[in-house]
Structure 1
Amino acid sequence: MKLTKSYFYITFFTLFTITIYAQVKDIGLPDVRNYKRNEYKAGTQNWNIGQDKNGNMYFANNNGLLQFDGSSWRKYPLPNLTSVRCLKIDDSGKIFVGGYNEFGYFNSDNKGKLKYTSLSQYVDKNKIKIIDFIWKIHSFKNQIIFQSFARAYIFKNGKLSILKAPKRFQFSFVVNNKLYFQDVEKGILEYKEGKLYPLPNTTSLNNTEIWGMYAIGKNKTLIITLEKGLFIYENNIITPWNTDANNFVKKNNSLGGAIINNKFIVLNSVLDGIIICDFGGKIIQHINQNKGLQNNTVLTSFRDNKNNLWLGLDNGIAFVNESSPFTYFGFSYDISTVYASVIHQGNLYVATNQGVFYHDWNSNFKQDVFKLVEGTTAQSWNVQVIDGELICANNRGALAINGGKVTKIIDSKGYFGFKQIPNHSGFYIGSNYDGFAVFEKTSNGLVFRNQILGFDKSSNSFELDENYLWLKKDESLYRMLLSDNLSRFSSIKKIDRLTSKFKNIGSLQKIDGKVYFQVSNHFYKYSNEQDLFYEDANLTRLFKNIPMISALSEDSQSNLWYAFDESLGVLMKKNNKYTNVVAPFSNLTGNLVSNYLSVNTIDPNNIFIGLTDGLAHYNSNLLNNVSNKPKAFIRSFSFPGDTIVLGNNQNKIENIRIPYASNHVRFTFSSPTYENLENVQFSYQLEPFDDRWSNWSNISIKEYTNLREGDYTMNVKVRNSNGIQSEASTITFTISPPWYRHFLAYMFYFIFCLIAIYTISNRIKIKIRKNKYYETIEQRRLYLEKESRIRQEQYDLEKEIEKLKNDKLQIKILAKDKELVSNSLQVVKKNKILNGIIHKLKEIDVEALDDSTKFQVSKLNKSIVKEVNTDKSWKDLEKHIKNVHFEFLKRLKEKYPTISPRELDLSTYLLMNMSTKEIAEIMNISTGGVELARYRLRKKLGLNKKENLIGFLMNI
């Protein structure tokens, strides 16, 4: 019983989830993203679409097979360069394609690159010369069937067989696991075990092309024709499907379609885009060139794994975000920047910069545009219902609207908005360009009563409580007290800060009927009794983890909508508890109207948000994929010489090793997240090169250069437009070291070091032994040299001693000679004196003396003469002079060989510093003779008059 109940709950929840998840909204238009041919760099026409298990999209294009991974486009042409008209991806990941005279499949090689394998080569060209275009491919009961007009080529177990058309095939379809062919003569044929069996009563469609067949109920098949419209085949009978959808197809022709989760039908048209209808044929959405498509001819449509639509156009590709809880009213509905919206008397009114527009709330939005309310063509700041009357705050004044036109201009001043005055029933206050005015509700509607005196500043941000009117102007707050008769402000106080902690005012709002003042996400209320602002801790705590808000508004369901950084968030209230919802609204970032937070909550299914380019409709109960984690892929890994492609259904590549010369690597990233691609961001980290994850960025390429050898792991995460992060995708690779840092190189270095150490050690030992030997020899040599030197020194010393002895003896001799010379000179002087005495004695007259005296004088004279004649001192003097000055005389003779002995003597006497008179006496010449001898000596020595002769001789 418990198991049955659990199964019931699971089944119910699953069906309910699918129903909600597959919801196609009939209010507004989904977001449409167009891809032009200059973006995907291929042909204009796109005939067929597919998606692999990794989420990559594939398109059968005129120039080949296109692949789109969310970040980049890749093109894979067929060998004969013809257009691809169809494709099919089987469970193994092979991408089967067909073109003109060519069919086969693309599959990933061991490096992830898509390689083409032709199957048309198995066709016998002798029997079938022209294959023609392959228009349809089906994966059916372990067979791949390629259908052309003339025949079908069946590929199974590596073999190709041929199924010939009875007359001529048009197209083929798989419905409820059954394969059908349309033959132009036999009608619709069912293929069973290699044979064709006609379906009853289907030849009536032979004169038209069938472009689609879909099961829309039990034993009920929808048939889509090109020109004749839509038909139902049920119980072997074909009947026209008389619905709005059929009328559309008859008018615009159809090229097939798609089914969205067995609940909605997408119908492609030749002339007017697509429609989405339910299984009853009611049109839910109509999307054409006027509503966002770049081309009205839709060749194919495809529902992806997130229930979004891809359209192959006659010129380009379109993505339709059907899974989003948002739809939009934009330029195609003839509305621009929206400042406010409201529903009144069955119409949806929007205040825009061009005026007030309206649309019937109960009618279908798919075709009609918004209509302008007559008389409101000007900037409209607000539109609101006051006591059942629709009032517009317009640049032209306060306007009353009824029946699609302005019925009354209440006041001609420009207004921002109106609020009821507490404790004054029927009285309202309006903020206008000159300050504030009072309005009164009467039987004739709202009427202008008076302008409030005493204050002329204006703003759209004002609130009233029981005591004061509060106005936020710029970053200041004004507290104003109305007089009892509402004619003037009796007091006005400007407030620049609420507390000493915070300066300036963030926003002014009324929550649950009470006025709150917000600054830096702190909320304050005012106490009139204490005349101070005090913080509301509960509300402040509620916004603690929310980014700094700039505006706040409470809707009709008590939800709190807030604006921050040009983005939107909401605290949804349920059972007195708030849940913060931010992710879905990230798609609106940058499109909100600055300083005008416009959120109109009619009910949880219908929430309108004013944008700079229109109006957004949000269904908070519509489950969608915003909470699902996206997937991140390292799409390619490149290095010089090779590229590895990932995410193409190949097996995981392991043991990637890169040579050191190719250490410049490049990664590309992708995520099969196609909603709001401009807000998809990546973060990466290369371990161990990067210390932390990179900042989030839209860039899907990263390069690293000059990486060192080692093991690396590249991690990539993606964050979608809703702020949801994926799990990390990784790839591991190794950069080999250069040959000189390779393990084998280190082994070689180690062995070489061992050998070197061993060799050097041996050489050192040998060297030491040799050194010891040579040291011994050297010591012996030094000893002998020392001994020889000692002997020589001893010998030299002995010689020196001998020499010193000789020198000493010579010195003594020289001294004796010098003494002798000196003595000889004294003797010479003595002889000179004696000669003088002799001359004096000769002058004495001896005759006059007596004989005794005469004898004595004679004896004395003889004695003196004898003494003089026997004295040999002069000869001894010459001898000794030559001995004393031998070296000088020798040098002088060597230098001047022509010098005479007499001149040598003169030179010696001059050297001895003898006077001219002494020299004359010694040489026994006159003084004149000495001067003459000196003159001749100078001439022989080559001296001029200025040179000193004695000094010259002393230098010889």
Structure 2
Amino acid sequence: MKSLVLFVLPMLMAAITQARQLIGAPSILHYTKQQYAGGGQTWDMDMDRHGILYFANNEGLLTFNGQNWKVLPVPNHTNLRSVRVGKDGRIYTGAQDDFGYYLPDENGLLRYTSLKPLIPSGEREFADIWNIVCYNDAVFFRSNNKIFSYKDNAIRVYPAPGEWRLLCNTPHGLYAQDAREGLMKFVSDNWRVVAPAMASQKLLITAVLEGKQDTLLVFTLKNGIFKLYNQQLFPFNTPVNEALQTDRIYCAKEWDNDQLLLGTAEGGCYILHKNTGALIQKFGIREGLQHNSVRRIFADNGRNIWLALDNGIDMIRYNSAIKQIHPDQHQYLTTYAARVFNRQLYIGTSDGLFVTPLQEHTDLSFQDNQFQKVAHTNGQVWSLATVGEDLLMTHHEGAFRINGPAAYPLFKGTGCWLFLPQQARTLIGCYNGLRTMGAALSPVRQVNLLFESLRFLTAEQDSVIWASHPYRGVYRIVLERDTTLRYTLYTQQQGLPSSYNNFVFRVRGRMVVATSSGIYEFDPIQQRFVPSAWLFPILGNTAVQYLAEDATGNIWFVSGKMPGVVDFHQPSLQKPYSIVHFPELKGMIVSGFECIYPYNEENIFIGGEKGMYHINYKKYKQPKGSPTVMISQVNARDSLLFSGYLPASAAMLKKLPNAFASFHFEYAAPSFGNNMEFSYKLEGFDGDWSEWSARTEKDYTNLPHGKYAFSVKARDNLGNISKAASYAFQILPAWHQTTLAKSIAVLLGLVLIWCCYRLFVAQQQRHKKEQARLILHHEYEKERLQNDKLAADIQFKNKELAITTMHLVQRGKLLFNIKEELLQTIQKITPSPLPSFKKVLRLFDEAEENTEDWEQFSRHFDEVHNNFLSILKKRCSDLSTTDMKLCAYLRINLTTKEIAQSMGISVRGVETSRYRLRKKLEVPADVSLYDFLLSVQGV
């Protein structure tokens, strides 16, 4: 009976459950082989505890940390077929004729270790390793002819009974398919058959999952899905059974408790309800995939769906709060308006208005996609508005009322931008001015005097309207009658930052102008525009193109081609509000024709260039936990120091030579598909954290030696900040900067100082000696000069003495001659007058014997010759005056003749006197009398 229930109940449920496609499609990120620099085919994938993804690719092991791709070729240069991250942190891989594991070393670089040497001899021949399964404490590797079990550094081999075709595990068992025996289960270290019918029916199993009530879900390549209970197979009929058999199931994975993810060979990815098999959503090339052949499916921690394709890798952001709605069935029309009206969702596009009924879902993106085009709406739709009980549409061809499946014109002939409902009337901004319409939606009248294109309108009062023109300025319009108005144009001269790009809106019951420099309001007292007292401090002078207020008072805006919201119900940073941007939609909205329709907190519609974007803001702002950040690479001088496959803090402190002064850091946050910002700091160099930036790399150059720690943290657009990741390193000092070198330098310095001191002392001594020598030389020179002077004086006085002597000699000679002449003359006179001249002759004799001259001469002589005569007289007291004169004349080196004349004797008398003088002085015979007299000077 239980078997019957298992067989019949799914068929009945499948019959009443229709295949469905949701209107909200998650965004799909594409990674091409050009981006990850690998081969087109990717066979398997897994993720480690740090958030790094690993892919088995034809070119080797691909890794992705959310920012950077890396390729690690297989050591034997073959294709990589499988990859699995073990509980021990190893990344097990299977290639052709080899399998093993990668493990990061102390520098975060993955190193490969082959397990093939552990295989028993004789069992080492095998082909591709297609599956890797971690089960209990062992790791199993499947080739076509053998399954290898690796445990406790030993390998056990399980040969195939026929051919191993599958290896997989569930929470309650390890399963394998053999071509001859069928489905087998690993029990007590052996394989036991649990479904032999698989072999008899020649079913090729691609996945086995746990079902309910002790059943297994068995997925086959060409025959659809089966339920296995008590070794019996029951077809699991689903609304997409035929499609699955045609598209062929490559892989399957249980997801989100009650859903199944299926990868097919030709139909892309299916999401089915696990119990009923009903189609929830399908993704293929038409839905945005790169390829329809899905070889492996993986769901990461953020509930993103990863698809390993036959050509490329795709990520479906299925859990994202932002979805994309394509009302035109994949024509990707640009959307300009949205409105929920009478339990239907209307979306206006560049080619008509589309509508779909709504079911009981608070998040409207989970509605069934039943969009139909509203009749008579072909062409450009600009806006939708609810007036009373009617839904109105502005169109390139006029204004229309929507009634059921069709649109009916209110007037045609000119394009209309928007409706502005008022109590007494409804205003219509048109291509060529303003029109009014009564409460009954008729008649439509042209208002005269202003024929500008009026795309933005808002009311201050029923009779006072504000309008903006993107190239004119802002108009204040006063309606005097339904067909007449007067207006005032305000431009830059009246306080607006510019006369261009001004847009009027009504927020919190007030007219505001979104400008290129923030939000402005009109001051009626000054008759000028001034910065808004409450919105300008919030948004600042940022250029704003669009404003819309939701039912809770939050302000939605568009700035810089990116939507955002000022949330007054979520304070942050000591402010009564928070500003949330949506970087996922930056550049995707319709620039110049922005549209935000905040229906409620779970349904925010934003016009896009390709379809309509839907934001479940309630889900978007829910806490998702702090993001994580990792340092993915560190380079210095073109050398790889750290490769990021383990936390940077776990790396050993890297000590680097002084030449490593320039560093390049790369970092990432493995929050796939999210927009993150980063802030970094290099401790030991930077004073504080850097400004937040989307950059994922930083360079430092010319760092001095010392210890450093590079830290980085990540922040998501909701303001959640991660813990910092750090990488510590030390730049060693140059040889001349080491303690030893400094000690040696100090020692050498001291030695140098000592040597300099010794040199200085020696120099001082030499200087003193030189000074003494100079002084001595100076004294010597001074004495020499004095002696020279004395010698000169002596020579001069000798000359004077000689002159005086010669004068005395001449005078004596003259007196002698006069005396002789006088005597001769007297003798000739007779009688002789001699007696008369005796007195005269006596005077001559007195003159000759005058001692005064001698005394004067001797005194001067002693002054010149250091008391020569006095000393000579003391030495020989018996010297006569004549002897003294002779000594003096000899001392001044007079000739014998000059001495004779001076003394008034003959030459011979001089010789005789010299002889007598030698005897008195006792001059040795071998010494000349002159030399002896010279020696007397030194006595």
TM-score band, normalised by the shorter chain? 0.7 to 0.9
Matched, 1:355 2:357: no
1:511-560 residue CA offsets vs partner (Å, 9 max, x unmatched):
45554556766675787xx8979999985488467956442112355543
Quote how far apart the aligned CAs of 1:789 are.
2.8
Q: What SS does structure 1 have at the residue aligned with 2:618?
A: coil
CA distance in 1, matches of 2:778, 2:637: 70
1:296 aligns with 2:292: yes
Contact 1:338 1:611 in 2 (8 A): yes
Alignment partner of 1:334 is 2:328: no
Question: 1:410 offset after TM fit, Å?
Answer: 2.2
Contact 1:103 1:119 in 2 (8 A): yes
The letter for the 1-side match of 2:591 is S
The equivalent of 1:240 in structure 2 is 235
Q: CA deviation at 1:61?
A: 0.5
| 2:171 match | 176
> Aligned residue for 1:756?
752
Q: Given residue 123 of structure 2, which amino acid in structure 1 is its aligned partner?
A: I
Matched, 1:508 2:486: no
Q: Which residue does the alignment assign to 2:671? A: 673
Q: CA deviation at 1:146?
A: 0.8
Q: 1:269 to 1:721 in 2, by over 3 A?
A: farther
Which secondary structure state, in structure 2, belongs to the residue aligned with residue 307 of structure 1? coil
- CA drift at 1:141: 1.2
Q: 1:665, CA displacement in angstroms?
A: 2.4
Partner of 2:83: 87
CA 1:361 to 1:159, structure 2 compared with 1: closer, same or farther past 3 Å? Answer: same
Q: SS of the residue aligned with 1:243?
A: coil
Among 133, 158, 164, the alignment partner of 1:163 is 158
Distance 1:483-1:703 versus aligned 2 partners, 3 A rule: closer
User: Which residue identity does 1:336 align to in structure 2?
Assistant: L
- Counterpart of 2:254 in structure 1 is 259
Q: Give the drift of 1:634.
A: 2.0
Aligned-residue offset at 1:207 = 1.2
Quote the residue 1:818 is aligned against. Answer: none
Is structure 2 residue 38 aligned with structure 1 residue 37?
no
1:704–1:470 CA distance, 2 compared to 1 (3 A): closer
Partners of 2:571 and 2:522 lie apart in 1 by 21
Query: What is the distance in 2 between the residues matched to 1:526 and 1:392?
Result: 34
Shift in Å, 1:159: 0.7
Q: CA deviation at 1:471?
A: 1.4
**1:84 is matched by which residue type in structure 2?**
L
SS in 1 for 2:582: helix
Structure 1 residue 801, shift from structure 2 partner: 5.3
Aligned to 1:117: 113
* Distance of 2:797 and 2:407 partners within structure 1: 149
Pairing of 1:482-561 with structure 2 (within 5 A): 482-484=479-481, 486-489=482-485, 491-496=486-491, 507-511=503-507, 515-516=511-512, 524=521, 539-540=534-535, 543=538, 549-556=544-551, 558-561=553-556
The answer to whether the 8 Å contact 2:656/2:731 transfers is yes
- SS at 1:199's partner residue? strand
Aligned match of 2:878: none
CA 333–185 in structure 1, closer or farther in 2 if over 3 Å, else same? same
Q: Deviations for 1:451-487, whole angstroms, at most 9, x for unmatched residues? A: 1122212322112333322212337332222234x12
C-alpha spacing 1:509/1:786, structure 2 compared with 1 (3 Å): same
Question: 1:871 aligns to what?
Answer: none
**Partner of residue 479, structure 1:** 476
Cα displacement string for residues 760-819 of structure 1 (whole angstroms, at most 9, x for unaligned residues): 3344334444554554455444433432331122112333455689899999xxxxxxxx
Within 5 Å, which residues of 2 pair with 1:288-437? 288-330=284-326, 333-344=330-341, 347-362=344-359, 371-402=372-403, 404-408=405-409, 410-422=411-423, 424=424, 427-437=425-435
Give the aligned residue type for 1:633. M
Count, aligned residues? 777
Conservation of the 8 A alpha-carbon contact between 1:112 and 1:646: yes
Q: Matched residues in 2 for 1:302 and 1:146: separation?
A: 19
Aligned to 2:587: 590
Question: Secondary structure at 1:617's aligned position in 2?
Answer: strand
Which has the higher mean CA deviation after the structures are superposed, 550-559 or 153-162? 550-559
The alignment yields a C-alpha RMSD, in angstroms, of: 3.7
Matched residue of 2:651: which SS? coil
- The one of 771, 786, 806 aligned to 1:790: 786
Look up the match of 1:103. Answer: 99
The CA distance in 2 between the partners of 1:669 and 1:766, in whole Å, is 66
Identical aligned residues as a percent: 24
SS in 2 for 1:29: strand
Residue 749 of structure 2 aligns to which amino acid in structure 1?
A: C
Equivalent position SS for 1:788:
helix
The answer to whether the 8 Å contact 1:306/1:323 transfers is yes
Secondary structure of the corresponding residue to residue 324 of structure 2: strand
In structure 2, distance between residues paired with 1:554 and 1:661: 60
- Give matches, 1:112-261, under 5 Å: 112-125=108-121, 127-128=122-123, 130-199=125-194, 202-203=197-198, 206-234=201-229, 236-261=231-256
Out of 595, 612, 617, which is 2:614 matched to? 617
Larger mean Cα displacement after TM superposition, 259-268 or 563-572: 563-572
What CA distance in whole angstroms lies between the structure 2 residues aligned with 1:745 and 1:684? 35
Q: Distance in 2 between matches of 1:220 and 1:509?
A: 61
CA contact (8 A) 1:339 1:610 kept: yes
TM-score (norm 1): 0.74
* SS in structure 2 at match of 1:244: coil
Q: Distance in 2 between matches of 1:686 and 1:413?
A: 63
Q: Which amino acid aligns with 1:792?
A: D
Q: Could you tell me which residue of structure 1 aligns to residue 605 of structure 2?
A: 608
1:489-510 CA deviation, whole Å, 9 max, x = no partner? 2x32334489879887954323
Encode CA deviations 1:97-137: one digit per residue, 9 max, x unaligned: 01111110011122221111111122245x23531211111
| Letter in structure 2 aligned against 1:223 | V
Deviates more, 1:653-662 or 1:715-724: 715-724
- 1:251/1:347 CA distance change after superposition, 3 Å: farther
Contact 1:45/1:316 (8 A) holds in 2: yes
The farther-off stretch of 130-139 and 279-288 is 279-288
Cα deviation, residue 733, structure 1: 1.5
Alpha-carbon distance in 1 for matches of 2:798, 2:664: 99
Which runs of 5 or more residues in structure 1 are unaligned? 1-23, 812-956
User: Aligned AA for 2:489?
Assistant: K
Measure, in 2, the Cα distance between the counterparts of 1:537 and 1:81: 66
The aligned runs of 1:626-775 (5 Å cut-off) are: 627-640=624-637, 642-649=639-646, 652-676=650-674, 679-694=675-690, 696-720=692-716, 724-769=720-765, 771-773=767-769, 775=771
The corresponding residue for 1:568 is 563
Deviation at 1:374, TM superposition (A): 4.5
Q: Which residue of 2 aligns with 1:460?
A: 455
Counterpart AA for 2:411: I
Alpha-carbon separation, structure 2, partners of 1:65 and 1:294: 21
Find the aligned partners of 2:709 and 2:344 in 1 and give their Cα distance: 59
Matched to 2:651, the amino acid is I
Q: Distance in 1 between matches of 2:416 and 2:803?
A: 140
Deviations 1:333-383 (A, max 9, x none): 324222111234554322223333344545998996855444433332113
Deviations 1:637-659 (A, max 9, x none): 22247422243136712331111
In 2, distance between residues paired with 1:601 and 1:797? 130
Match of 1:78 in 2: 74
Residue pair 1:511, 1:554 contacting (<8 A) in 2 also? yes
Q: Distance in 1 between matches of 2:554 and 2:375?
A: 34
Deviation at 1:413, TM superposition (A): 1.3
Structure 2 stretches lacking a partner, 5+ long: 1-19, 808-939
**Change in CA separation of 1:600 and 1:785 when aligned onto 2, cut-off 3 Å:** closer
Deviation at 1:154, TM superposition (A): 0.6
CA drift at 1:601: 3.4
Matches within 5 A, 1:865-876: none
